[in-house]
Amino acid sequence: MSQYIPQITSHSLADKVVLITGGANGIGASLVQDCLEKGANVCFGDLDNVEGERLLNKTRERFPPVENGPARVVFQPTDVTNYQSVLSLFDLAFETYKRIDHVVSAAGIVEIGNWFDFGLTLDSVRETPTSKVLDVNLLGTMYVARIASVYLRHNRGPGTDRSILLFSCVSGFKESPSLFVYQASKHGVLGLMRSLRSYISSPYKHCIRINTIAPWITETDSVKKIQHKWKEASLPTNTPQEVSHIAAGMLADRSLNGKSMFVEGGRAWETEENVERLESHWLGEEPSKALAAGQEFLDDGSIWTAKPRQRSSISKQNGIFNGPKKSFSKGDFTPVANGVH
């Protein structure tokens, strides 16, 4: 596995516009500050409006606007499980800065209760369990990625780099007993990145890079419960700053697409390359060959998404054209054919 050492300077994100969800606390909050320090303008959203406002005031003092420019940082209360709320955060960034360069989906929560409690009975199992962890970690991330795939295509100059970074976790690739829903959600995030990485980066389509970051235990509120014992066992711990440093590096590094960085003890290790490279070892040569043939046949996957001929009246009845109500004036967007300049 190869170590990833971010090559990042104080100007690496100069004039870039970065949108971050889950930016009020923990790793997200550290990334807000990191991006500002590296020269970016930042728009962040979070459910926690108290800490969000606090960080906004603190960072506005530290990073005043440049000449007559807009504020370097803006914040809006956001619930990533609400599509319109996510959309509204993108609108804020777009209206303030007229473009968005990088998007980070950092909002996340840990396991709630025990979905597979051994104490469940024929009675108690009748109660519908909460899907909140899946909603925040996976559905929220999918909302962010979907909206980003459209906004990032607009107002870009020739050769402009654009990217999306999704927060997965060690649980996104390694067995994590008791974190049943959390693990499924973080596997889902990695899966989303894998399904998008060739499609969304295609120069004939969106031309956007997409990557994931998979931190191990990082000193934030979300792991308070185990942090003490973890440290006593002398296991590697990340600080939020170490993880955000890697994340900022991934935003700035235009060579990265379709990668995932496992972060432990402040160090990052790329995991996707070896999964591909060593497939014939862990899967076996024969099934690996069969898989390769199937993959070649499926190619870019358009066979799945090709639209059957459809009567337009039916589509309308089904609400397929129910887009967001907000519309930008013509001057706001520079739309591009196939998303490419």
Ligand X SMILES: NC(=O)c1ccc[n+]([C@@H]2O[C@H](COP(=O)([O-])OP(=O)(O)OC[C@H]3O[C@@H](n4cnc5c(N)ncnc54)[C@H](O)[C@@H]3O)[C@@H](O)[C@H]2O)c1
Question: Of 56 and 217, which CB lies nearer to ligand X in the complex structure?
Answer: 217
Q: Distance between CA 336 and CA 315 in Å, rounded?
A: 26
Question: Of 147 and 207, which CB lies nearer to ligand X in the complex structure?
Answer: 147
Angle, CA 220 vertex, CA 215 and CA 223 arms, to 5°: 75
Question: Of 86 and 207, which CB lies nearer to ligand X in the complex structure?
Answer: 86
**Half-sphere exposure of residue 69, counting CA atoms within 13 Å on the CB side?**
14
Q: How far is the CB of 310 from ligand X (least distance, A)?
A: 34
Q: How far is the CB of 6 from ligand X (least distance, A)?
A: 17
279 binds ligand X (CB under 6 A): no
The residue within the footprint of ligand X, chosen from 28, 39, 258, 339 (CB under 6 A), is 28
CB of 108 closer than 8 Å to CB of 137: yes
50 binds ligand X (CB under 6 A): no
Question: Of 120 and 223, which CB lies nearer to ligand X in the complex structure?
Answer: 223
22 binds ligand X (CB under 6 A): yes
Identify which range of 57-65, 92-100, 102-110, 248-256 contacts ligand X by CB under 6 A: 102-110
Determine the straight-line distance between the first and last CA of the chain, rounded to whole angstroms: 35
Query: Pairing between strand 102-105 and 163-167?
Result: parallel
Residue type, 74: V
* 268: nearest Cα among 175, 168, 176: 168
Question: Of 155 and 185, which CB lies nearer to ligand X in the complex structure?
Answer: 185
Question: What 3 state SS string does 129-159 have?
Answer: CCCHHHHHHHHHHHHHHHHHHHHCCCCCCCC
The residue within the footprint of ligand X, chosen from 13, 80, 103, 165 (CB under 6 A), is 80
CB of 14 closer than 8 Å to CB of 39: yes
CA dihedral 276, 282, 288, 294 (to 10 degrees): -60
Please list the residues that pair with 238 across neighbouring strands: 218
Taken in order 325, 326, 331, 336, the sign of the CA dihedral is negative
- 54 CB neighbour count, 10 Å cutoff: 15
Q: How far is the CB of 206 from ligand X (least distance, A)?
A: 23
- 141 CB neighbour count, 10 Å cutoff: 27
* 180: nearest Cα among 118, 115, 230: 115
Q: How far is the CB of 47 from ligand X (least distance, A)?
A: 4
46 binds ligand X (CB under 6 A): yes
26 binds ligand X (CB under 6 A): yes
108 binds ligand X (CB under 6 A): yes
Using CB under 6 A as the binding rule, the residues of this chain from 114 to 143 that contact ligand X are: 136, 140
Question: Of 120 and 179, which CB lies nearer to ligand X in the complex structure?
Answer: 179
Using CB under 6 A as the binding rule, the residues of this chain from 205 to 264 that contact ligand X are: 215, 217-218, 220-223
Q: How far is the CB of 104 from ligand X (least distance, A)?
A: 10
81 binds ligand X (CB under 6 A): yes
Question: Of 80 and 252, which CB lies nearer to ligand X in the complex structure?
Answer: 80
Token pair of 117, please?
Answer: 């409690």
Q: How far is the CB of 319 from ligand X (least distance, A)?
A: 25
111 binds ligand X (CB under 6 A): no
* 113: nearest Cα among 101, 94, 93, 127: 127
168: buried, middle or exposed (CB in 10 Å: 19+, 13-18, 0-12)?
Answer: buried
The residue within the footprint of ligand X, chosen from 33, 41, 59, 78 (CB under 6 A), is 78
19 binds ligand X (CB under 6 A): no
Residues found near ligand X in the complex (CB under 6 A) = 21-22, 24-28, 46-48, 78-81, 106-109, 136, 140, 167, 169, 215, 217-218, 220-223
